[in-house]
Amino acid sequence: DAKTTQPTSMDCAEGRAANLPCNHSTISGNEYVYWYRQIHSQGPQYIIHGLKNNETNEMASLIITEDRKSSTLILPHATLRDTAVYYCIVRDASGTYKYIFGTGTRLKVLA
Amino acid sequence: DAGVIQSPRHEVTEMGQEVTLRCKPISGHNSLFWYRQTMMRGLELLIYFNNNVPIDDSGMPEDRFSAKMPNASFSTLKIQPSEPRDSAVYFCASSGRLESPLHFGNGTRLTVT
C-alpha cells in the first residue's frame, strides 16, 4: 500500500508557482521522500528527493516539514508543459527498496 | 545516454498467446524494476532485480507471469498464456543502485483480445 496521501487534482495558472502537497505521517527516520511526474502516457520522470532538509534542483524545490510528516513540491514558474500527474513516494523502510506509487495529483496548468 | 529502452512499443495479441516484453537498462545500472499501469490499479510494481538477481517478485500477479535478467543489459517479462485482463502499459525502470532514483522507459502498451 502507498504510504502517502495527495490531493486528486489541482489547477495552477501559467507562470505562477505550483505547490503540490503530500502527507506521509507514518514515515520512518531513514525513509526518503521522492517525487516523480508522468506526462500523458510516458514513463514516470524523476524530479527530486530528500530526507530532512529542503532540496532544490533545476526542476523544482522540495520542502519537508520538521516532523517529516508532510512535504511540498514547488514548481516555481509553472508552464503548460508541467501539466502531468505528480507522484509523491516514500520508499519502503524494510530494506527492500520498493517504490510504491499511489494515485498522485493531476496538475493542470492553465493558460 | 540512450535511456531505458523497451520493446516493442505496442503489442496486440490474442488470448492464450505467449507475450514477451523486453527491456535494456541504462548501462552501468545495477537495479531493474518492472511495473504495470492500468486505469483501475495505477502503477503496480511487479518484480525487481539487483545485480541480475530477483529480489522481490511478490507483485507478480500469477504464475502466468515470469521475468528474467540473464545479464546486466537485458531483461524480459513473459506472459504465458496471456489473457484480456493483462492489457496494460508495462514499464521497465533502472537505477544505479537500489536506493537511487528510477529511470523509466517509455513502456510497452499490451492489448490482449
Residue listed under C-alpha cell 493558460: A111
- A101 exposed, middle or buried (CB, 10 Å; 0-12, 13-18, 19+)? buried
Given this model, what pLDDT does residue A93 score? 58
Between chains, do B42 and A102 touch, taking CB under 8 Å as contact? Answer: yes
**β strands within chain A, DSSP E:** 9-13, 18-23, 33-38, 45-50, 55-56, 61-64, 70-75, 84-90, 105-110
Given this model, what pLDDT does residue A101 score? 86
Between chains, do A97 and B103 touch, taking CB under 8 Å as contact? Answer: no
| Cα gap A57→A76, rounded to integer Å | 11
Given this model, what pLDDT does residue A99 score? 81
Report, as an integer, the average pLDDT of B30-57: 93
Given this model, what pLDDT does residue A95 score? 66
As a whole number, the mean pLDDT across chain A is 91
Given this model, what pLDDT does residue B55 score? 92
* Preferred mutation among A98, A100, A103, A106 to probe B, highest tally of B CBs within 10 A: A98
* DSSP letter assigned to residue A61: E
| pLDDT tens for each residue of A10-39 | 999 999 999 999 999 988 888 889 999 999
| pLDDT tens for each residue of B13-24 | 999 999 999 999
Whether residue A80 is predicted with pLDDT greater than 80 in this model: the reply is yes
A51 contacts in chain B (CB < 8 Å): none
Contact A4, A102 (CB under 8 A): yes
| pLDDT tens for each residue of A100-110 | 888 899 999 99
Given this model, what pLDDT does residue B57 score? 93
Given this model, what pLDDT does residue A102 score? 85
Contact B11, B109 (CB under 8 A): yes
Given this model, what pLDDT does residue A65 score? 95
Whether residue B98 is predicted with pLDDT greater than 80 in this model: the reply is no
Whether residue A2 is predicted with pLDDT greater than 80 in this model: the reply is no
* Preferred mutation among A1, A87, A97 to probe B, highest tally of B CBs within 10 A: A97
Report, as an integer, the average pLDDT of A51-72: 94
Given this model, what pLDDT does residue A1 score? 54
Report, as an integer, the average pLDDT of B49-64: 92
